[in-house]
Chains A and B, each alone.
Chain A
Amino acid sequence: MSESGRTKSVLTQSARVLDPSLSSTVSRTQFGLFLRRLRRDRLTVVAMVVCTIVVLGAAGSPLLQHWGVIDPIGFNSELVKGIGSLPGGAWGGMSWAHPLGVEPGTGRDLLSRIVSGLTVSMAVAILSSLLSLTIGTVLGLIAGLSKGKVDWFISRLIDLVLSFPQLLMLLTLAPVLVGVLNERLHIPDGPPSQIAFMVLVLGAFGWPYPARIVRGQVLSLREREFVEAAVSLGASRTYLYFREILPHLAAPLLICATLVIPQYIAAEATLGFLGLGIQAPTASLGSILNDSVSYASVMPTYFLFPGLVLAIIVLSFNLLGDGLRDVLDPKDNRKS
């Protein structure tokens, strides 16, 4: 290069002169662009705030319970008119001490139960989406990259799992699997075993969706010209997979996660509603709803509040997922 230094400066000059379009562009980082777009999308910001509060609340509720801020388990017999009966006072016993009222029969604080129920619901939702996304990503990557027989096998496996009657399987497997988890794997009886059961089953049935997304993405990404360009520069296989293809999966997977989490929150509620979820006295959104049904006509607030919370969470996560999809799409060239 040294002997060409002189040539270089001359050539650079002429190359410069050739291009008059030296317009200055304001450079933006990818993250800056992301923030700008996000700020314009008010609904997504609101959804994000709600989701953050939900996650923080779910993570913090054991601490709150420890400090005595909330008490989801303690009975307040003086607030109900005897065992199994309705709370005294209007609106399900609403008061400053119990803003959402108390549980019929036991007098447990409803707000406390909802907040601590969030922990179980979110734990199940997040853990099972992690599990299904991990299995799905790995299998989808393998299928998309290997093509041929392996791809065929994984694709048929996806079809097979999707064709299983999931809820029926859950109903039959529940007693057996909880027992196995408890005895064989020494997961403590009660909530831990029940959570592990739900996570395993939801994860085992949930991976086909992310797997399909990842497989499709990989199939199209591997044919993209920048992959070819990287090969032409001498890039290795590992480089291609991790540096060229994997970054492209981050956005779809993040979106997939935010769309899968509300599904699992709802799924946990369904299981709880059918009596398969977490068992009393531990609360989850599903088990509270399950308990509340018999009081629906006499104490509508009992199912209204947890139901509303469930609806808001599911809606927020879905909106967040939709919003992220718009914001993270690099092809979306909306001008600020």
Chain B
Amino acid sequence: MNTIVAPSLTTPSRKENEPLLTLDRLSVSFETPDGTVRAVNDVSFEVAHGETLAIVGESGSGKSVTGQAIMGLHRKTNGTVTGSVRFNGRELTTMSERELRHIRGNDIAMVFQDPLSAFHPYYTIGNQIIEAIRLHRPVSRRVARARAVEVLDFVGIPSPGTRVDEYPHQFSGGMRQRAMIAMAMVNEPKVLIADEPTTALDVTIQLQILNLMVQVQAELGTAMIMVTHDLGVVGEIADRVLIMYAGAVAEVGEVERVIAQPAHPYTAGLLGSLPRIDLPTQRRLEAIPGSPPSMLMPPPGCKFHPRCAFRSEEAGCFTTEPQLTPHAEGRSVRCFLPLTPKTTARDTQEPSRDV
């Protein structure tokens, strides 16, 4: 079961290509007093055993909701899900709460952005990990406690034997996120969904946590869905990347290719807004003009067209919504005018384009 995948930052290695988790046209919408918000629109992707998929997008692009909806963790009171989520051949969207409970934390686990608010403040870290174990395994508290110490040790918490009895507020931010990861991995899940696990941490700790997540993956052969807005993180650990804009997939493909040669103008914009060490320091960071559209009243046509430098009336950007279509090398892009190597040259002030 536990396929040990060599952790590699450069070459994605996937032994088993049969997908573990398949999302098929997943949509999530929320009823609000102002109207229906379509937070996620027809998102489809597959995650294979041991693979790391990064979901990237701005705030409000629907990336977190996608991560939550996989396990049915979205707001149920006003949210509805359509489409399908298949895990190991089982449909999750129609599953009962009771069945879902056996999946949650056991087969699919989640790492949250802010470990301080994700841990219960009244119980010790150890107690919470013990409970996480005992929700799924019929073991004694003693055995569960030993296992808790073991995972805390694995995630690099010093003197886990004593720290297991401490409260979340006694841990530093980085240590708390380590403990969070320990709690998520304690039942050896097959999929780990990490919702911006490094956003609340400072830069030096971020790298440690990312390395730790790679280690966890190597240890358990876990597939990972990394929800983030940080393309730097993506390049660091992901195999494939899925760029989301306005609740829909803008572009999907292997990380190196997407980063080296973005096909969607939005991806190019995201990359252009990152400081880069290999380019002259005088270069100004390019911001994407405007802000993400309101999901209550998305613009007609391509949802990105109001902010797009390459939009064209003739191509239909203003009126027709482009579909996600296969691009080169196993990539898909939702754009009528995908960028080519020539147009993505970073220093182009006047975007030229060959259609």
Contacts and interface: CB of A to CB of B under 8 A. Distances in A.
Interface of A: 1, 3-4, 7-8, 11-12, 14-16, 18-19, 21-22, 25, 27-28, 30, 147, 224-226, 228-237, 239, 243-244, 247-248, 330
Contacts of A8: 154, 219
Contacts of A16: 156, 158
Interface in B172-193: 172, 174-175, 178, 183, 188
Given A225-B112, A229-B118, A15 B101 contact: no
Interface of B: 2, 4, 71, 73, 77, 97, 101-106, 109-110, 112, 114, 117-122, 131-132, 135-136, 153-156, 158, 162-163, 165-167, 169-170, 172, 174-175, 178, 183, 188, 208, 211-212, 215, 218-219
A229 B119 contact: yes
A11 B218 contact: yes
B112 A235 contact: no
B153 A12 contact: yes
B118 A225 contact: yes
B2 A3 contact: yes
B172 A21 contact: yes
B198 to A, nearest CB: 14
B122 A30 contact: yes
Contacts of A231: 73, 104
Contact of A229 (B102, B112, B178, B219): B112
A232 B73 contact: yes
A18 B105 contact: no
A12 B150 CA distance: 10
Given A18-B212, A330-B169, 8 more contacts: A15-B212, A16-B156, A22-B158, A27-B163, A28-B170, A228-B73, A230-B120, A330-B121
27 contacts: A1-B188, A4-B219, A8-B219, A11-B154, A12-B153, A12-B156, A15-B155, A15-B156, A15-B215, A18-B156, A19-B156, A19-B208, A21-B174, A27-B163, A30-B167, A226-B121, A228-B118, A233-B110, A233-B183, A234-B101, A234-B135, A235-B101, A235-B135, A237-B97, A243-B131, A330-B121, A330-B169
Nearest to A10: B215
B71 A232 contact: yes
A105 to B, nearest CB: 57
Nearest to A1: B188
A236 B219 contact: no
A239 B175 CA distance: 26
A28 B166 CA distance: 8
Nearest to A333: B169
Contacts of B188: 1
Nearest to B100: A234
B219 A7 contact: yes
B102 A234 contact: yes
Given A7-B219, A19-B156, A225-B112, A247 B122 contact: yes
Contact of B120 (A19, A21, A244): A244
A15 B210 CA distance: 11
